[in-house]
C-alpha cells in the first residue's frame, strides 16, 4: 500500500497554516506522502489579502512526494470545501488523511495513520481513524475503538466515505425513526441532535455532525490512539472568544503509537470516560466546541 495522500484545508490564517505544514514536514515518511491543499475563496474583499498570503506560502511548500494546491475562486465554506475535496482525492486513491489549517501533529502522526489505514483497510466495521485523542485523564490501551468520531486529524477509506450522507434531514429522520436520539447524544452528554437540527435549519454549516451521524447509523467504529498525535491550535483567541478552550489541549506523543489487535467493539471504559468528559463541560465550552465544529472558513 502506497502512502495515503494528505488533504489539507486552508483559508486565511497564515500563521496557523505555516505551523500545521511545518509540523507535517517533520513527520516520519512525509517525503513519501502526496499533499493536496484545498484553499477556499475569500468570503469578502477584506479577506482577499490574507487568503492570497496563505496561497503564496503554500505554493512554495516542499518536503512531500508531491504538492498540489487547488484554489477556489468563490467561498464555498468549510463543509462544502471539505466534502468536495475528499471526494476529489478519493476518486484517485483508496484512502485519505484529512487535516485542517489549525492542527499541529506529532512527528509520528503520519506513521500511525498509514499503519492504521493499512491494518484496518478490509475491516468493514472500522470506518475511520483519528489522530487526536481527548484528554480523558485515564489510562487506555495503545489504541482503542469507539462509536464516536473526531474531526481533528483523521483518515478514512473510499468505502468509509461512501457511508457519508450529506442530507441532514435524512439523518435526523432516521435517528428519530429508530429512537436513537439519546444514544446519538452520547446518552445526553453532548447535544448532537440539536446540532443536526441546526444544520437542517441552516443555522450551522457542519460536515462533522453529518459524518458522525452517518457512521453512527451505519454502526461503524473509529480507531483512536492512546496518546494524542494531534493538537488543535485554533482555539488561541483568533476570531472567537475561546476562554477555557484549553480543556481540549493535549501534549503530543513523542513516541510512535503502535497498531495492535484490539476487540472489534467500542471500548466501554473509554466511552464512559468520554461521556464524563463532555458532561463536565460548562455551557461556555459547549458553545465554543459548537463553534469549532460548525464554523465556516470565515474567521
Is the predicted pLDDT of residue 51 greater than 50, yes or no?
yes
- 275 in any annotated domain: yes
Give percent of the chain with pLDDT exceeding 90: 86
Is the predicted pLDDT of residue 71 greater than 80, yes or no?
yes
- 177 in any annotated domain: yes
Our measurement of the distance from residue 34's CA atom to the centroid of its chain's CA atoms, rounded to an integer in Å, reads: 19
* Average pLDDT estimate for 28-40: 98
Average pLDDT, the chain: 92
- β-strands 95-100, 154-157 pairing: antiparallel
- 299 in any annotated domain: no
pLDDT of residue 100: 97
Give the contacts of 151 (CB within 8 A, at least 6 positions apart).
208, 211, 293
Is the predicted pLDDT of residue 122 greater than 50, yes or no?
yes
- 262 in any annotated domain: yes
Q: Which of 284, 191, 277, 196 is nearest to 243 (CA)?
A: 284
Q: Give me the helices (H) in 140-229, please.
A: 158-161, 168-177, 181-184, 192-201, 207-218
Neighbouring C-alpha atoms within 13 Å toward the C-beta of 173: 6
Instruction: Specify the number of domains making up the chain.
Output: 1
Q: Which of 211, 160, 189 is nearest to 289 (CA)?
A: 189
Tell me which residue range forms the domain holding 49. Answer: 6-294
Confidence of residue 242 (pLDDT cuts 50, 70, 90): very low
Give the tens place of pLDDT for each residue, 203-228.
888 999 999 999 999 999 999 999 99
Written as nine digits, the cell of 297 is: 472558513
- 287 in any annotated domain: yes
Confidence of residue 246 (pLDDT cuts 50, 70, 90): confident
- 225 in any annotated domain: yes
CATH of the domain at 197: 3.90.550.10
- 190 in any annotated domain: yes
* Average pLDDT estimate for 147-151: 94
Tally helices (H) and strands (E) across the chain: 11, 10
286 versus 164: the higher-pLDDT residue is: 164
pLDDT of residue 235: 74
pLDDT of residue 292: 55
Element at 83 (helix H, strand E):
helix 78-90
- 183 backbone dihedrals φ, ψ, rounded to 5°: -70, -40
- 185 in any annotated domain: yes
Q: Which of 92, 39, 27, 96 is nearest to 68 (CA)?
A: 39
Amino acid at each position: 500500500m502506497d502512502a495515503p495522500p494528505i488533504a489539507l484545508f486552508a483559508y486565511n490564517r497564515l500563521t496557523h497554516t505555516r505551523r500545521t505544514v511545518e509540523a507535517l514536514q517533520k513527520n516520519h515518511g512525509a517525503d513519501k506522502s502526496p499533499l493536496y491543499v484545498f484553499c477556499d475563496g475569500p468570503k469578502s474583499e477584506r479577506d482577499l489579502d490574507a487568503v492570497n498570503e496563505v496561497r503564496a506560502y503554500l505554493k512554495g511548500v516542499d518536503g512531500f512526494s508531491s504538492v498540489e494546491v487547488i484554489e477556489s475562486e468563490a467561498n464555498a465554506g468549510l463543509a462544502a470545501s471539505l466534502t468536495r475535496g475528499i471526494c476529489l482525492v478519493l476518486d484517485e486513491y483508496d484512502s485519505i488523511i484529512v487535516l485542517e489549517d489549525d492542527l499541529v501533529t506529532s512527528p509520528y502522526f503520519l506513521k500511525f495513520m498509514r499503519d492504521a489505514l493499512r491494518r484496518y483497510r478490509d475491516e468493514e466495521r472500522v470506518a475511520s481513524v483519528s489522530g487526536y485523542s481527548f484528554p480523558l485523564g485515564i489510562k487506555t490501551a495503545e489504541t482503542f475503538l469507539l462509536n464516536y468520531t473526531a474531526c481533528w486529524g483523521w483518515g478514512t477509506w473510499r468505502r468509509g466515505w461512501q457511508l457519508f450522507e450529506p442530507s441532514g434531514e435524512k439523518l435526523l429522520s432516521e435517528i428519530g425513526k429508530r429512537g436513537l436520539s439519546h444514544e446519538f447524544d452520547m446518552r445526553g452528554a453532548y447535544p448532537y441532535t440539536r446540532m443536526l437540527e441546526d444544520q437542517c435549519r441552516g443555522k450551522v454549516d457542519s460536515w462533522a455532525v453529518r459524518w458522525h451521524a452517518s457512521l453512527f447509523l451505519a454502526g461503524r467504529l473509529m480507531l483512536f490512539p492512546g496518546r494524542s498525535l494531534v493538537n488543535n491550535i485554533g482555539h488561541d483567541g483568533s476570531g472567537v472568544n475561546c476562554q477555557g478552550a484549553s480543556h481540549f489541549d493535549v501534549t503530543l506523543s513523542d513516541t510512535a503509537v503502535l497498531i495492535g489487535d484490539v476487540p472489534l467493539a467500542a471500548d466501554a471504559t473509554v466511552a464512559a470516560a468520554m461521556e464524563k468528559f463532555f458532561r463536565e463541560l460548562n455551557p461556555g465550552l459547549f458553545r465554543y466546541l459548537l463553534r469549532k465544529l460548525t464554523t465556516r472558513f470565515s474567521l
